[in-house]
Amino acid sequence: MRWLISFVLLALVVGALGLWLTRPGTDGPEVLAGLTPDETHGETVFIAAGCASCHMAKGASGEGKLVLTGGQSFPSPFGTFKAPNISTSPQAGIGDWAAIDMWNALHHGTSPEGAHYYPALPYGAYIRMTPQDVVDLHAYMMTLPADETPSQAHDLSFPFSIRASVGAWKALFLRDDWVMTGDLDDQLLRGREIVEGLGHCAECHTPRNALGGLKTGSDWLTGAPNPAGRGTFPDLVELDWSEGELVEYFTSGFTPEFDSAGGHMALVVENLAALPVEDREAVAAYIAALPVE
Contact residues for another protein (CB under 8 A)? Answer: 59, 226, 230-234, 244, 248, 251-254, 257-267, 269
Q: How far is the CB of 85 from another protein (least distance, A)?
A: 23
Q: How far is the CB of 253 from another protein (least distance, A)?
A: 4
Nearest Cα residue to 282 out of 215, 210, 195? 195
Give 244-288 as a 3 state SS string: HHHHHHHHHCECCCCCECCHHHHHHHHHHHCCCHHHHHHHHHHHH
Nearest residue (CB) to another protein, 91 versus 226: 226
Nearest Cα residue to 106 out of 134, 74, 72? 134
Nearest residue (CB) to another protein, 97 versus 250: 250
Nearest residue (CB) to another protein, 53 versus 110: 53
Give the span between the Cα atoms of 223 and 220, in whole angstroms: 8
- The answer to whether the CB of 109 falls within 8 A of the CB of 174 is yes
Q: How far is the CB of 267 from another protein (least distance, A)?
A: 7
Nearest residue (CB) to another protein, 9 versus 228: 228
* Cα→Cα distances 158→77, 79, 112, 163, 212, Å: 12, 9, 25, 10, 15
Q: How far is the CB of 251 from another protein (least distance, A)?
A: 8
Q: How far is the CB of 275 from another protein (least distance, A)?
A: 15
Give the span between the Cα atoms of 56 and 66, in whole angstroms: 7
Nearest Cα residue to 126 out of 46, 187, 26? 46
Nearest residue (CB) to another protein, 176 versus 259: 259
Q: How far is the CB of 49 from another protein (least distance, A)?
A: 19
Nearest residue (CB) to another protein, 27 versus 235: 235
